[in-house]
């Protein structure tokens, strides 16, 4: 129940910010590292410090697929309807994430 309320609060915050003169801040709210905090805590408690550091470094590299998503969306919104642009950008993220994981596994195995 708490997670659902927290998620709803974030959506309300994004909606409220999108109506202000600083509407662009709405794009920052979902990037708060909620899940990263949880993941780092769990890895940090259950594994070695080296494993935690590896998780952190992989997290740094994971910014690339998000950048690919944003760059794709930026280009597509001028060319397609918003819904189609979002879908194309999500597929671009998925492709970039797949490449990242594939390269990471090959390098670190």
Q: Is residue 91 in a domain?
A: yes
Q: What is the pLDDT of residue 90?
A: 98
How crowded is residue 105: how many other Cβ atoms within 10 Å of its Cβ? Answer: 9
95 found inside a domain: yes
Would you say residue 94 lies in a domain?
yes
Give, in degrees to the nearest 5, the angle at Cα 10 between 85 and 46. 100
Look at residue 10 and tell me if it is in a domain: no
Can you give the residue range of the structural domain that contains 53? Answer: 48-109
Overall domain count for the chain? 1
Predicted local confidence at residue 78, as pLDDT? 97
Backbone angles phi, psi at 20, to 5 degrees: -95, 170
Asked whether residue 75 is assigned to any structural domain, the reply reads yes
What is the model's pLDDT at position 36? 92
The pLDDT score that the predictor gives to residue 109 is 83
Task: Please indicate, yes or no, if residue 21 is contained in any of the structural domains.
Answer: no
CA distance 22 to 14: 11
Per-residue pLDDT for the chain (109 aa), expressed as one digit of tens each? 877 888 898 899 999 999 999 999 999 988 888 889 999 999 999 999 999 999 999 999 999 999 999 999 999 999 999 999 999 999 999 999 999 999 999 999 8
Query: Could you tell me if residue 24 is inside a domain?
Result: no
**Residue 69 falls inside a structural domain:** yes
- pLDDT for the residue 35: 86
pLDDT at position 7? 85
What pLDDT is attached to residue 14?
93
* Residue 2 CA: distances (Å) to CA of 13, 31, 89, 94: 16, 20, 31, 29
- Give the pLDDT confidence score for residue 107 in this predicted structure: 94
């Amino acid at each position: 129940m708490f997670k659902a309320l927290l998620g709803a609060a974030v959506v309300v915050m994004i909606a409220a910010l999108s109506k202000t003169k600083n509407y662009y801040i709405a794009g920052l709210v979902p990037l708060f590292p909620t899940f990263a905090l949880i993941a780092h805590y769990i890895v940090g408690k259950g594994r070695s410090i080296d494993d935690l550091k590896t998780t952190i470094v992989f997290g740094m590299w994971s910014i690339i697929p998000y950048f690919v998503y944003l760059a794709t969306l930026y280009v597509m919104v001028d060319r397609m309807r918003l819904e189609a642009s979002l879908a194309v950008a999500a597929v671009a993220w998925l492709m970039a994430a797949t490449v990242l994981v594939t390269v990471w596994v090959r390098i670190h195995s």
